[in-house]
Amino acid sequence: MSQQFDLVVIGGGPGGYEAAIRAAQLGFKVACIEKRIHNGKPSLGGTCLNVGCIPSKALLDSSHRYEATTHDLAEHGISTGEVKFDLDTLLARKDKVVDQLTGGVAGLLKGNGIEWLQGSGKLLAGKKVEFTPFEGDVQVLEPKYVILASGSVPVNIPVAPVDEDLIVDSTGALKFPEVPKRLGVIGAGVIGLELGSVWRRLGSEVVVFEALDAFLPMADKALAKEFQKILTKQGLDIRIGAKVAATEVNGREVTIKYNQAGEDKEQVFDKVIVCVGRKPYAEGLLAEDSGIKLTERGFVEVNDQCLTSVDGVYAIGDLVRGPMLAHKAMEEGVMAVERIHGHAAQVNYDTIISVIYTHPEAAWVGLSEEAATEKGYTVKAGQFPFAVNGRALAAGSAETAGFVKFVADEKTDRLLGMHVIGPNASDIVHQGMIAMEFVSSIEDLQLMTFGHPTYSEVVHEAALAVDGRAIHAIQRKRKK
């Protein structure tokens, strides 16, 4: 290739394309290599935009609107008669949203003068990049810098081999041609709960199998307990400590054989979704002599600034340590570019937010009460429910589930974590994230004025509750 690039990004997902755009803004000549084909055509946006975050949220929103119409409007005095949904239209809307966003990313790259190289990239020795286009000859690029951003893929398990027909992964679960009457979900993590919720709302009888003996062990225990109770009430059959031993396909049915509490059991389903996690995708990414070091789990080894073992080569997102979250990849991509440009950029991994987009949503940032205690903090915590919040009550009973909880250091009053279940939790949790970024105390939140009536008033009350001062609750502990 005649062009010389300052930076080559391998991977056009959220981390990769944001890194490319920021580099172009800083004056670099940039190429972004992406090999994904979606619906028969090259597509940017990675897993997130094509088969992950965005299409799943489109289905979550559509299915929630259907359920709200059929279950929640009567209390408002609204009668609708018979309500139906058209699955083909629902799925087509999901695809339209994906096309709009992926097309927008292509426009952003073009508008910033970034060369989108359609095909696959491999890092060679000496920081060279081998580019294999869909059509044409293999070319070797010699950029000054490289960012590896190839993302991740679903983990497969031998006991439930994915055939993308009766047993599917998270991608296949986005395009069922009809609503399965009986749906089994293996894995009670974020993806399993979200996809299980989608199809449960549309009419499936959903059973979720979780091998671990605890529900959402990475979350605050109070949040996990409340969340499981809410989802169970909604109709998700969540079986904790249920270890799947085998799956057996018979005609158009799948039998899941599992062990729970020492007892062997089995159940028949029409479809099964396997959602047991994701792993870094490095297939064909690295030549044997590239110089890149991998961890035992297959992640690219990097330092706190995402620099690999090869000078000038960075790796970001799901390819490296830390949570597999699009927003984490985005910030790492921008950080890598800023470091290349000589800026002292850094990602604060203590304030990476986690969200589950069910309804109600669940979200958290920072330390759980249990994790803070394990780290040696003298913990004080407080929470406040949406059930007595004026805005939530006015919106309807579907908006009153859940709470906001704060975890703080008793000695310094410093905010350590925030945990939310409830309406708009994915947005509300950012208030805690911002407070933590500015090393705020609980008193800082207590002294702020929150608009009335708003959902965010629960944030204020929860901060007050940490010191026994919540106004709209009778508390045992009080302060003057």
Amino acid at 18: E
pLDDT digits (tens, 9 = 90+) for 433-444: 999 999 999 999
Flag whether pLDDT at 445 surpasses 90.
Answer: yes
81: Cα within 13 Å, side-chain hemisphere: 0
pLDDT band, very low/low/confident/very high, at 477 (cuts 50, 70, 90): low
Q: Give the mean pLDDT of the chain.
A: 97
User: How far, in Å, CA of 393 to CA of 457, rounded?
Assistant: 13
Task: State yes or no: 214 annotated in a binding site.
Answer: no
pLDDT digits (tens, 9 = 90+) for 455-471: 999 999 999 999 999 99
Q: What is the mean pLDDT of residues 304-309?
A: 98
pLDDT band, very low/low/confident/very high, at 1 (cuts 50, 70, 90): very low
Structure tokens belonging to residue 86:
């058209």
Q: Which CATH class is domain 167-276?
A: alpha beta
Task: State yes or no: 436 annotated in a binding site.
Answer: no
Task: Using CB atoms within 10 Å of the CB of residue 469, give its burial: 0 to 12 exposed, 13 to 18 middle, 19+ buried.
Answer: middle
So which residues are the catalytic ones?
Answer: 452
User: How far, in Å, CA of 439 to CA of 461, rounded?
Assistant: 20
Collapsed DSSP state (helix, strand, coil) of residue 347? coil
User: What CA–CA distances, in Å, run from 471 to 1, 262, 466, 467?
Assistant: 68, 48, 12, 11
Flag whether pLDDT at 479 surpasses 80.
Answer: no
Task: State yes or no: 71 annotated in a binding site.
Answer: no
pLDDT digits (tens, 9 = 90+) for 150-181: 999 999 999 999 999 999 999 999 999 999 99
User: How far, in Å, CA of 195 to CA of 203, rounded?
Assistant: 13
Q: What is the mean pLDDT of residues 418-431?
A: 98
Flag whether pLDDT at 187 surpasses 60.
Answer: yes
Task: State yes or no: 301 annotated in a binding site.
Answer: no
User: How far, in Å, CA of 106 to CA of 45, rounded?
Assistant: 9
Task: State yes or no: 277 annotated in a binding site.
Answer: yes
Name the maximum alpha-carbon separation found in the chain.
Answer: 76
Q: What is the mean pLDDT of residues 376-403?
A: 97
pLDDT band, very low/low/confident/very high, at 360 (cuts 50, 70, 90): very high
- Which CATH fold would you assign to the domain 7-154+279-347? FAD/NAD(P)-binding domain (3.50.50)
Structure tokens belonging to residue 413:
């009053």
- Name the β-bridge partners of 315: 148
Q: DSSP letters along 50-100, please? A: HHSHHHHHHHHHHHHHHHHHHHTSGGGT----S----HHHHHHHHHHHHHH
Flag whether pLDDT at 27 surpasses 90.
Answer: yes
Specify the DSSP element, H or E, that contains 256.
strand 253-260
Which residue ranges make up each domain of the chain? 7-154+279-347, 167-276, 351-466
- Given a contact cutoff of 8 angstroms between Cβ atoms, the answer to whether 114 and 30 are in contact is yes
Task: State yes or no: 20 annotated in a binding site.
Answer: no
Which residue, among 65, 63, 61, has the nearest Cα to 80 in the 3D structure?
A: 65
- Given a contact cutoff of 8 angstroms between Cβ atoms, the answer to whether 358 and 191 are in contact is no
Structure tokens belonging to residue 65:
């609107």
Cβ contacts of 348 within 8 Å, gap of 6 or more:
437
CATH for 351-466 (3.30.950.10, 3.30.70.1140, 3.30.390.30, 3.40.50.150): 3.30.390.30
User: How far, in Å, CA of 354 to CA of 429, rounded?
Assistant: 9
Flag whether pLDDT at 291 surpasses 80.
Answer: yes
Q: What is the mean pLDDT of residues 100-104?
A: 98
Flag whether pLDDT at 478 surpasses 70.
Answer: no
* pLDDT number for residue 244: 98
Task: Using CB atoms within 10 Å of the CB of residue 264, give its burial: 0 to 12 exposed, 13 to 18 middle, 19+ buried.
Answer: exposed
pLDDT band, very low/low/confident/very high, at 378 (cuts 50, 70, 90): very high
User: How far, in Å, CA of 185 to CA of 318, rounded?
Assistant: 23
Task: State yes or no: 318 annotated in a binding site.
Answer: yes
Flag whether pLDDT at 276 surpasses 90.
Answer: yes
Amino acid at 444: D
Which residue, among 159, 160, 130, has the nearest Cα to 35 in the 3D structure?
A: 130
User: What CA–CA distances, in Å, run from 149 to 51, 292, 406?
Assistant: 17, 14, 34
Collapsed DSSP state (helix, strand, coil) of residue 194? helix
Task: State yes or no: 210 annotated in a binding site.
Answer: yes
299 DSSP assignment: P
* pLDDT number for residue 68: 96
Summarize the chain as % helix, strand, coil (round to 5): 35, 25, 40
Query: Strands 253-260, 263-269: parallel, antiparallel or unpaired by DSSP?
Result: antiparallel
Q: What is the mean pLDDT of residues 376-398?
A: 97
Amino acid at 34: E
User: How far, in Å, CA of 373 to CA of 378, rounded?
Assistant: 7
Flag whether pLDDT at 25 surpasses 60.
Answer: yes
Collapsed DSSP state (helix, strand, coil) of residue 348? coil
Structure tokens belonging to residue 321:
């340590």
- pTM for this structure? 0.96
- Given a contact cutoff of 8 angstroms between Cβ atoms, the answer to whether 365 and 353 are in contact is yes
- Given a contact cutoff of 8 angstroms between Cβ atoms, the answer to whether 33 and 120 are in contact is yes
Structure tokens belonging to residue 433:
């994230």
* pLDDT number for residue 475: 78
For 409-439, b/e burial (b = at least 16 CB within 10 A) is beeebbbbbbbbbbbbbbebbebbbebbeee
pLDDT digits (tens, 9 = 90+) for 396-418: 999 999 999 999 999 999 999 99
Flag whether pLDDT at 352 surpasses 50.
Answer: yes
Task: State yes or no: 121 annotated in a binding site.
Answer: yes
pLDDT band, very low/low/confident/very high, at 480 (cuts 50, 70, 90): very low
pLDDT digits (tens, 9 = 90+) for 204-223: 999 999 999 999 999 999 99
* pLDDT number for residue 224: 98
Collapsed DSSP state (helix, strand, coil) of residue 435? helix
Q: What percentage of the chain carries pLDDT values higher than 70?
A: 98
pLDDT digits (tens, 9 = 90+) for 41-95: 999 999 999 999 999 999 999 999 999 999 999 999 999 999 999 999 999 999 9
Flag whether pLDDT at 130 surpasses 50.
Answer: yes
Flag whether pLDDT at 312 surpasses 70.
Answer: yes
Flag whether pLDDT at 293 surpasses 50.
Answer: yes
User: How far, in Å, CA of 480 to CA of 466, rounded?
Assistant: 14
